[in-house]
Structure 1
Amino acid sequence: MERMVVIGGDAAGMSAASQARRLRGPGELEIVAFERSHFASYSACGIPYWVGGDVDRREQLVARSPQEHRSRGIDLRMRTEVVEIDVPGQRVRSRDLESGTEAWTGYDKLVIATGARPVRPRLPGIDAPGVHGVQTLDDGQALLDTLAGLEGRRAVVVGAGYIGVEMAEALLKRGLDVTVVNRGEQPMATLDPDMGRLVHEAMDGMGITTVNGAEVTKILTGPEVGASPVPGGPGGRVRAVATEDGEFPADVVVLGIGVEPETELARAAGLPLGTHGGLLTDLSMRVRGYEDVWAGGDCVEVLDLVSGRERHIPLGTHANKHGQIIGAGVGGGYATFPGVVGTAVSKVCDLEIARTGLLEKEARAVGLRFVTVTVESTSRAGYYPGAAPMTVKMLAERRTGRLLGVQIVGREGAGKRVDVAAVALTAGMTVEGMTALDLGYAPPFSPVWDPVLVAARKATAAVAQAG
């Protein structure tokens, strides 16, 4: 009987284990999975909404408990961390985090699903009490515990990407005074600066203070009650975030700088990594050059179908697809993951933010010549109650008119419109071809010309004018 070993018990790892189990019974395939945290198969994307109170209980974010996995014939070992991969020997060394006991486990098929870790810059005070990253349910619980005992009401979020703006909303909903310190020109570096400016203006209107162009230099601390009376003394809680231009008082700090692939194990084992630090795989999610090793989820790089280059895009949608494909391969079937177009959607309070395809700087980086257009429209027919404004920006290749990217910022009904553009990108459509798309129309849902199609019409004209 073969043994499948899975490193990582969240989306990619447990999807792979579950799919392999569906294809091969316990008598054909033994499955052992290692997870170092207290939780498995949970939605990390839901953590900001749990912290903000939209989700009542932590358990609502758990798709399947360890007991449920075990009942399906998967030996899931919680609070157990894999600390070494021996590829030539086809075995992994694990450590029980409660007892410290270590053991080797052999494998015939190995799945690496170690995920990503929050970017945590090496700054003075970064490990002080009251400074939190938010990547796992354990992280979310630690933040909630801090908030429950908080005496002050000042929160600083470092970073203004997806995690940063979502956590800013969560903290605002909990009644804190929120400042976002962002080193970029505008919030949301996943948008072009002109679209990021719209996010900045909206956040200001919500009462969130956003400070752009500010590089954090250190986290300032003060003494705990009964500790050293020296301000900033060792062991003190966070009291402020410092930049070159000033200090921002803080009773709690949340790091929303982003994440990077958790691939130190893979690196030490000599497995191939890409320019972003993620594992490199083929279309079937096998690690390149290794027949019996697969990888998926936030620890891998994926092919961008628009630029033709590898990217690191940590999203639960990709992770679950990777797991299904890996499980099929281990289970004796065959499936492939062709790549992505870089679709993402988020929100801060009632502002919806979406993008797919390439930004201007990304298109330039791969040598593409392009035109851009920006249109203002509404989510519904202008005369229908509840019609809300939205801005759509579209990039098209200058010579061919091929769609290259779309960004959307607006109120209710704006964000999910990006899916139309994602399908068009995947299909390799031109902006002129998009204008003929037969999209659904009724006044409660859209103007006669959907905002995405209005942008496509304007982009078609810009391509023709550019020659």
Structure 2
Amino acid sequence: MDMDMNRARDRGSRERLVVIGGDAAGMSAASQARRLRGPDELEIVAFERGHFTSFSACGIPYWVGGDVAERDELIARTPGEHRARDIDLRMRTEVTEIDVAAGRVHARDVDSGAESWTSYDKLVIATGARPIRPDMPGAEAPGVHGVQTLDDGEALLASLARARGRRAVVVGAGYIGVEMAEALIKRGYEVTVVNRGKEPMSMLDPDMGRLVHRAMTGLGITMVDGAEVTKMLTGDDGRVRAVATGDAEYPADVVVLGIGVEPETALARAAGLPLGPHGGLLTDRAMRVRGHENIWAGGDCVEVLDLVSGLYRYVPLGTHANKHGQVIGTNAGGGYATFPGVVGTAVSKVCDLEIARTGLREKDAHRVGLRYETVTVESTSRAGYYPGASPMTVKMLAEHRTGRLLGVQIVGREGAAKRVDVAAVALTAGMTVEQMTSLDLGYAPPFSPVWDPVLVAARKATAKVRATTT
């Protein structure tokens, strides 16, 4: 702390907060700190190596698919807007080193190559995630695209515009994979999804993933499960022409990588900051990097506590990143806030199929040594007699004997996905499935059956838990 005070004294009475990363977590932290402390008290310097700030990466598939008309609709706040709030935002500037002992960062201007050191009293690391690119022949060929930034989205759209044919291969069937499959279907492409898992959406149990497989096939998407991509084949012009697995080739005019992301923590690792088993930074509840009083981290570069299992997980989602930023900015600005953890809630869709999960899957419960019961129920989104009622499947996990809710997965049409929020609240509160059956949920025929599908699952789970304890 004495070193921090000396640095601040050298600049007068102002402290300096340095932020690495200009997207959700980083700029939320900068903005919140500015709300709490004015420019006379706190200087804020932020570095962003890309062209954009505060954008929605989650919205890129919908921009590519045409649901969002313009790129700029995905930008929540421009560099100019941040600067108008007295944040010294340095675009196209990449931080290349963190010197923890000296309290400074080294940065390089991406365009000019100019280099400089900037000292800090407080540091925020919000370096995000990087797309996993397979280490194989042809992975860097023209026509092969990751989807992580707005630049990536622009490059993909340009590639689609000049593609000679209408065949697309998506590698991976997680959230990004299925969302990009939908986007490409909407673009009029013939889509093949190559997935190394037995079923798509590995964040679901295989029996629920099977429902997604069936629906995607029904939409005209060719599903290739249990297949490992070995290389990208290129034509005479060097552009990708096919994706190869061990025993087959799938023609492609464009390839989209939906394999997932991993934390971008090379800077933190080089600086000797603590990383978890998934490669993400480890923080306390105040999002302070463990063992470092004046360094915080948030967003897709950190690991978070799973409130159900009690273990740390890597869950890269924009919802968490914005919450992390608020907590960090409050603490860096002199206030107090904490981020308690997550229950693992996520939703997605492919065309009209909605997919949701929260809490633990069966293999997660196995991994942490929990005994559990499962139930699966078929229900409808509205009263069965009301026009537009559509089917949905709800799977619920409850702890053996105690009946504590462990997880819920939902696959269905309109009105299915957001029902998972009820389960997310129940998980956060540590409710049992029996307690859930008494929840006073809203009812009217256009919105729900008399017994909401989640509560039907809770009733069946309660009966199963009781049967195993008598």
TM over 0.5: yes
Match of 1:451 in 2: 453
Q: What's 2:284 paired with?
A: 282
- Number of the residue aligned with 2:8: none
Q: Which of 131, 142, 147 is matched with 2:155 structurally?
A: 142
Match of 2:258 in 1: 256
Q: What is the Cα deviation at residue 217 of structure 1?
A: 0.5
1:328, CA displacement in angstroms?
0.4
Aligned residue identity for 1:104: W
Distance 2:105 2:220 in 1: 50
Matched, 1:163 2:163: no
* 1:52 counterpart = 2:65: yes
Three-state SS of the structure 2 residue aligned to 1:240 is strand
Alignment partner, residue 17 of structure 1: 30
Which residue of the other structure, out of 290, 302, 305, is the alignment partner of 1:303?
305
CA distance in 1, matches of 2:352, 2:92: 38
Question: SS at the partner of 1:4?
Answer: strand
**Count of residues in Structure 1 that have an aligned counterpart in Structure 2:** 456
Residue type of the alignment partner of 2:96: V
Alignment partner for residue 124 of structure 1, among 116, 125, 137?
Answer: 137
Question: Which runs of structure 2 are paired with 1:220-239 in the superposition (5 Å)?
Answer: 220-224=233-237, 236-239=238-241
Offset of 1:99 from its aligned partner?
0.3
1:29 maps to which of 42, 51, 70: 42
Q: Does 1:317 align with 2:338?
A: no
The answer for unaligned runs of 5 or more in structure 2 is: 1-13
Shift of the alpha carbon at 1:121?
A: 1.5
Alignment RMSD: 0.4
- Does residue 463 (structure 1) correspond to residue 469 (structure 2)? The answer is no
Q: How far off is 1:245 after superposition?
A: 1.7
Displacement, 1:151?
A: 1.4
Kindly report which structure 2 residues correspond to 1:324-335, keeping only aligned pairs within 5 A, or say none: 324-335=326-337
Task: Indicate the SS of the match to 2:296.
Answer: strand
Query: How far did residue 81 of structure 1 move?
Result: 0.5
Cα distance per residue 1:378-415 (max 9 Å; x no partner): 00000000000000000000110000000000000000
Unaligned stretches of 5+ residues in structure 1: 225-235
- Please tell me the residue identity of whatever aligns with 1:215: E
The 1-side partners of 2:191 and 2:92 are apart by: 34
| Counterpart-to-counterpart distance in 2, 1:140 and 1:280 | 31
Matches within 5 A, 1:51-70: 51-70=64-83
Paired residue type of 2:62: Y
Q: Does 1:421 align with 2:423?
A: yes
Look up the SS of the partner of 2:223 in the other structure: strand
Q: Displacement of 1:326 after TM fit? A: 0.3
1:210 aligned onto 2:212? no
**Aligned pair partner of 2:198 in 182, 185, 210:** 185
Please state whether the residue corresponding to 2:123 is helix, strand or coil: strand
Q: Distance in 2 between matches of 1:138 and 1:314?
A: 19
1:176 paired to 2:189? yes
Identity %: 81
Could you list the structure 1 runs, at least 4 aligned residues long, displaced by more than 4 angstroms after superposition: none
Write the distance in 2 (CA, Å) between the matches of 1:87 and 1:215: 41
Cα shift at 1:340:
0.2
Deviation track 1:114-143 (CA, whole Å, cap 9, x = no partner) reads: 000111120111000000000000111110
- 1:148 Cα deviation from its structure 2 partner: 1.1
Letter in 2 for 1:382: G
Secondary structure at the aligned position of 1:462 is classed as helix
Q: Which amino acid aligns with 1:326?
A: I
1:69-108 aligned within 5 A: 69-108=82-121
